[in-house]
Structure 1
Amino acid sequence: MADISIEVTVNGRLRRATVEPRLTLADFLRERCHLTGTHLGCEHGVCGACTVLLDGQAVRGCLVFAVQADGGEITTVEGIAAPDGTLSTVQQAFREHHGLQCGFCTPGFVTSVTAFLRDNPSPTDEEIREGLSGNLCRCTGYQGILAAVRAAADTINEEAR
């Protein structure tokens, strides 16, 4: 099959490329856009390390083809911080509450939590666990991650007042 031209906005920047139909969004972001914060773990959509936002929805970059994102807006972990490098509320909470250890899963968690708290700014602990059930961490035992999500939610709610 012939290569296909796509046009996507990645972290606010328009990108045009010609890609193989089977190129995953995660590989496109890493190889063509040089945004390596989107990690590849299982490459089966189970671990969540490759989570990005596609038109505001958290998706597994390893399960979406780049051609499926044509015309879409993609936000990677690199696009979550402010342009001046100021950490987002979620990133700051992960930092302050030790929501990471080796850091491999962190970009996927941060991206997932960003979308999750946008849709549910006052989650219960049970909702947080359910909302993050698609992201796996092999280091932290999740307590720091849960504390970070709670803290980010509290900060978001305080700022909304």
Structure 2
Amino acid sequence: MAGKQTGKSCRREAGFTLLELMVVVFIIALAAGIVLPRLPDTEGTRLKSSARNLASGIRFLNDQAIITKKVYRLHLELGENTTHIAELSPTGEEMQPQDQFMGRRLVEEGIDIEDVSVGSRGVVNEGEVVIPFGPAGLGDGVTIHLKAGKVHFTVIAYPSGGKVTVQEGYQEVTS
């Protein structure tokens, strides 16, 4: 009776235990945690990062000007999409600030400074715009539009008070 089964069935049910499923989920999460940060940044992420960097740079310059009672200038080169910060010497000459934070790049490569509006000067969309920060901080309101592809972010710096906001999209600011 070699081929005949007796009353009890010897069947084994297929499936995974909870422990096996947890191990697989853990391995997938670990792999995602390693791989995702190494993926290239998307255009939108770089744009948002640039807007936040620019906003923090403006806040920092405003605070430094008030605390140190010095005059700083933020130069925005619209054609080249670059920024740099200068400190005014007592004789009125521009010099490189000693603070390393002021030497960092505020707008990442590939991000366009579309236009800048500074107080009564109106909207500037080419050339260089210089934003002064005096012992009282930022004197005029500033609106800076950044663009990557078809996506926009707007950085708005309000005079006297140091408030700087970052808003998604192309925002028009009325005085």
- Using the size of structure 2 for normalisation, the TM-score is 0.22
More strand by share: 2
Higher gyration radius (CA): 2
- Using the size of structure 1 for normalisation, the TM-score is 0.23
